[in-house]
Amino acid sequence: MKMPEHILVVISGNRKKHEALERALKFAEYNDIHIHLFNAIYEPVLELTDVLSTEHREQMKEQHLADRRLYMNTLAEEISSQGIACSVRVEWHPHLHEIIEKVVKDLQPDLVIKRISAESMSINPFALPIDRHLIRYCKAPLLLVNQSEFSDSPILAAVDILTSDTDHMSLNKDILESAKLFSHLYLAPLYVVNAFITHTVSAGIDFPMLDMEQLNRNTESYHREKLSELLEKNHVETTPKQLHAVPGVPEVAIPQVVKQFNCQLVIMGSVGRKGLSGALLGNTAEAVLAELNCEVLCLKPHH
């Protein structure tokens, strides 16, 4: 991921503080950027055709849109007064994730920034929260934030060192490049994690010639070696303390590292699984988001 020049900021209603906008403005301290402010509104009551006439509904809808545009233009004028290019788009749409995906397709931004929704912790596979839906389908890099300021807490890059398919190999490179960028912007240390599955033996089965503890130690050493090779290949400098090969599935192992080192941002990839498998199994990035209490930058493969 390169330094973003065109940033789509999703504005969450009429609020006193917009964390996503504050974060976008931070990029303006390092680069000339264009901020696209976007907001979607929808009032279900205006769909009550038995109560309101078509003309009345349209008048009320236009009034809602006019009020929101006025507010958004006020934000844009303040941004423009700082010498930052800014544009505004307001849409009437019942499904926020769908209209965000449409705007992303129209504008082709380098980065989308959105405040983390309270519902992102939901694990109901049949009621996919907005943030997890965007992780799966948003075509642009997606930064989900919960605060407006950077801190000096670590940036964590989550990679998959054993992957052999083109999409994941490309993601590893993009994740590490993005991690170096954000580490520089945040003036924060860069940590890297790779989760791996340990060997187990079913209860009641005895293999006297097999030392499981030694086997798992060898497995960890192998993953640390491969992780070091990946970092060297991508010119990432780390100390042993910043390099973590952790046993377990990613959705458990990654949050453990986040909590252990109080990481402020996790950078990971998502190869948006779709269809029934996506509905029932979800994606690793989605599962990790449900367990995290930090910000997330989610990247997609280039096609």
For residue 91, give the H/E element and its range.
strand 85-92
Same domain, 128 and 212: no
- Of the three residues 86, 119, 148, the one that is the final residue of a domain is 148
Count of the separate structural domains present in the chain: 2
Tens of pLDDT, residues 141-179:
999 998 767 788 999 999 988 877 777 788 899 999 999
228 and 144 in a common domain: no
Euclidean distance between CA atoms 48 and 54, whole angstroms = 10
Query: Which domain-ending residue is among 148, 180, 204?
Result: 148
**What is the pLDDT at residue 277?**
39
48 and 110 inside one domain:
yes
Q: Is the pLDDT confidence value at 216 over 70?
A: yes
Whether 211 and 71 map to the same domain: the answer is: no
Domain carrying residue 292: 150-303
Q: Is the pLDDT of residue 191 over 80?
A: yes
Q: Environment class of residue 232 by beta-carbon count within 10 Å: exposed (0-12), middle (13-18) or buried (19+)?
A: exposed
Domain containing 167 — which CATH number?
Answer: 3.40.50.12370
Residues 80 and 213 in one domain: no
C-beta separation of 3 from 177 below 8 A: no
**61 and 94: one domain?**
yes
**Residue 208 pLDDT > 70:** no
CATH number assigned to the domain comprising residue 17: 3.40.50.620
Angle at which helices 19-27 and 54-80 pack, to 10 degrees?
A: 40
Q: In whole angstroms, give the CA distance from residue 44 to residue 62.
A: 14
pLDDT category of residue 279 using cuts at 50, 70 and 90: very low
Distance in angstroms (rounded) separating the CA atoms of residues 291 and 251: 7
Task: Show which of 148, 167, 202 is a domain's final residue.
Answer: 148
- The verdict on 90 and 166 lying in the same domain is no
Question: Phi, psi (5° rounding) for residue 245?
Answer: -105, 110
Whether 164 and 142 map to the same domain: the answer is no
Both 10 and 100 in a single domain? yes
Report the alpha-carbon distance of residue 42 to residue 236 in Å, rounded: 46
